Amino acid sequence: MKILILGDQARYEKYMPVLPFIRQQELVFLDKSSSLDAVLAAAPDAAILFVDAITAVPAEWIQALPQLKMIHSEGVAYDKIDLAAARERGIYVCNNKGCNAGAVAEQAIMLMLMLLRHGRTGDLAVREGRQMEVKERYMQNGIRELSACRVGLVGFGDIAKATAERLAPFGCEMVYYSKHRRDREEEERYGVTYLSLEELTASCDIVSLHCAVNDETRGMVDQTFLNRMRRDAYLINTARGDLVDNEALRQALLDGKLAGVGLDTLAPEPVTADHPLVTLPAPVCDRVVFSPHLGGITEASFRRAHLHMWRNAERVVDGHKPDDIVNGVL
């Protein structure tokens, strides 16, 4: 059976599990930015499609591949895949749910600590010979410990839960918001308290985004959301850039309505040098810490994800239902 992979061949080969099934398939590799014409020229009869988590798979592609049985995201995100078009044809759309939860949780906490401990400005100060100047300033202004913060988790899926588990030893208070409140046993297990989104944003020292992108959440961090936050609060986004209204966040930073922001992801991606959050003037830019969307791309995460993908492919080829179907195909 033909499996079309829109992704870096070297990466797939590095993380490819040792499964006899794989050697029995015909693998076709194309760049993730390939056109539909290139796809049809290389693998018009593909039965399985592996794609990067941010690669678009529109209805046109789904309709043009008559033998397609499954589309699998290499990551957790799948919002660029036309779920309805795939569902109409009975094509499974799957993701790697939870594969990178621990890795992204580590990234979120790193960004929290970078902001609280002024990692960006501190590093630069030492390099420029201004160590004592900056040290004296922060001794005067004060530095908050993570243990003294109330951390609000917006969304409470796998990554938020992993974040809560890793935050627990710091001793900080943790609250969460999700569309559906968890039961008391789950809240006690993770040491979290439920708050409405309005209460959470208004009361937390750190607001950390952990929700998927959909019609309800796209652009949720808008002027209203940001105006509710405390002026000494921090915003963390290791989820998706599409959750944030870039112009609203830029203006909030310019107006001094936030203490700082830690962003592992921005929209659109790839991020350009003229992005409104990248072009913040000094000294506002010192209150922003970026990382290049690498929270979930650890070696361990990739090994878990790729093993799951290939096992799901084997299930489909054998006529069985795959795991982690996200488009409701039964």
How far from 234 is each of 100, 114, 248, 279, CA to CA, in Å? 23, 11, 15, 19
Active site residues: 240, 269, 293
93, 113 Cβ separation under 8 angstroms? no
- SS3 state at 309: helix
- SS3 state at 49: strand
* Run of H or E residues at 3: strand 2-6
For residue 26, give the nearest of 8, 47, 10, 54 by alpha carbon. Answer: 47
Query: For strand 150-154 and strand 173-177, is the pairing parallel, antiparallel, or unpaired?
Result: parallel
The radius of gyration of the chain's CA atoms, rounded to the nearest angstrom, is 22
Adjacent-strand bridge partners of 152: 175, 207
| For the chain, the helix, strand and coil percentages under 3-state DSSP, each to the nearest 5 | 40, 15, 40
Adjacent-strand bridge partners of 237: 209, 263
16, 44 Cβ separation under 8 angstroms? no
Q: Could you give the CA distance from residue 135 to residue 98 in angstroms, rounded to a whole number?
A: 40
The amino acid at residue 66 is: P
Render the burial of 141-166: b for 16+ CB within 10 Å, e for the rest.
eeeeebeebbbbbbbbbbbbbbbbee
